[in-house]
Amino acid sequence: MGSTILATLRDQFSDLADTQQFTRFIVRLILAVLLGAAIGFQRERHRRAAGLRMHMLIALGVALVVIAAEQSGATPADLSRVLQGVLAGIGFLGAGAILKQGEPEHIKGLTTAASVWATAAIASAAGLGRASTAIVATIIALLILSLLVPFEQRMRSKPRDGEPPA
């Protein structure tokens, strides 16, 4: 009976059978979490609702789902369906961050929702072993989130066509 239990346990933990596979798994998960942390830190610094922990957990979860699907022998078509489901689900999560207030132009949370979705896409790339793609996408996302704020503020302060200056 003891040998049956040991054999069952060995089978249960055979998904990371060798050092190379284990290293690949750890590197992909850690990369996804670190990239999610970079975006989350930027959002946290600007005191947004979805901050460091949320972005890290989203990145971890998405990368894990992608890695697990790939390790279980998913075909490219199966993996495509997994990604579709994950990204659609993240879209619903992001929708919860969007709040419409009073005026038609006054909507809060769109950028937060977009950063959550971008984090999921970046984590998908990391989970698939596309480290360079994930890193470059993170850098672009951080540039968008950081450098475009002053430009956006200037655009909002200008009167629209037909409106008198404030």
Work out the burial of residue 50: count CB atoms within 10 Å of its CB; fewer than 13 is exposed, 13-18 middle, 19 or more buried. buried
**CA-based torsion, 91, 96, 98, 103: positive or negative:** positive
Contact 130, 28 (CB under 8 A): no
pLDDT digits (tens, 9 = 90+) for 58-92: 999 999 999 999 988 999 999 999 999 999 988 88
Where in the chain are the domains? 24-146
Contact 33, 59 (CB under 8 A): yes
Asked whether the predicted pLDDT for residue 100 surpasses 60, the reply is: no
Contact 51, 44 (CB under 8 A): yes
Mean pLDDT of 109-135: 94
Whether this prediction's pTM lies above 0.85 is answered by: no
Say whether 116 sits in a helix, a strand or coil.
Answer: helix
pLDDT digits (tens, 9 = 90+) for 138-148: 999 999 999 88
